[in-house]
Amino acid sequence: MPPIRQFQATRRNLPHWHQPGATYFLTWRVAPGRELAPEDRVLALDAVRFWDTKRWAVYAAVVMPDHAHALVRPLPRDATDVTAREFHSLPELTKSVKGYSARAINRRQGRSEALWQDEGYDRIVRNDRELEETWGYIRFNPVKAGLVAEPELYQWLYSAGRAD
C-alpha cells in the first residue's frame, strides 16, 4: 500500500476522500425503478474495464442487477514519472464510466432518464488486509445475492487476479 500522502475531502450527501496513489472501493447504485438487464451489465462492466491499465488499475469489478462495485487505483498521469506526483482523477474516471454506460444502456433501452444514482460510495482501502477483504467481497457478491453458486459462474464479474 502506498504511504499516506496529502488528501482532499469533499462532501455532497456522502463524504468523498481523495488521496493520490490510493486504492478505492467503489459502489454505484442504479436509479430507483431501474434495473440492469444482462446486456446492460455487459456494457457497464466494459465501461469499468475500458480504462484498465490506461488510467486506473482495476483489481475487481462486478455489475449486479441494481448496483456495481469496483476495486480500483487511479494511475499516474505520466507513466514515466517515477515520483508519480499527479494521478488520474477518481471523480473524472467515475463520471466517464457512469456517463458512457448510462448513454449506451439508455440507447439500447430507448430511454433517456438517469440510470445511475447521482452519487456513489467510495472508500479508500487502507491496508493489504482490507484490500484482500474488499476483493473477496466483490467476488462473492453474486454468491451472497443467490445469483450463482460460485463467483466464476457469474458472467458480469471481472477479477484481475491481482490484489496487490
Q: Is residue 126 part of a domain?
A: yes
Q: Can you give the pLDDT at residue 21?
A: 84
Which residues, 6+ apart, have CB-to-CB distance to 69 below 8 Å? 25, 26, 27, 60, 61, 62, 137, 138, 141
Q: Is the pLDDT of residue 34 over 70?
A: yes
Decide if 23 is inside a domain: yes
- Inside any domain, residue 79: yes
> Burial level of 54, CB count in 10 A (0-12/13-18/19+)?
exposed
Range of the domain at 121: 8-159
User: Is the residue at 107 inside a domain?
Assistant: yes
Render pLDDT for 53-63 as a digit per residue (tens, 0 to 9).
999 999 999 99
Query: Is residue 164 in some structural domain?
Result: no
Using N-to-C axis directions, what is the helix angle for 38-50 and 90-109, rounded to 10°? Answer: 150
Q: What is the pTM of this model?
A: 0.85
What's the pLDDT band for 87 if we cut at 50, 70, 90?
A: confident
Task: Show Cβ contacts of residue 13 under 8 Å, excluding neighbours closer than 6 positions.
Answer: 119
Q: Number of structural domains, the chain?
A: 1
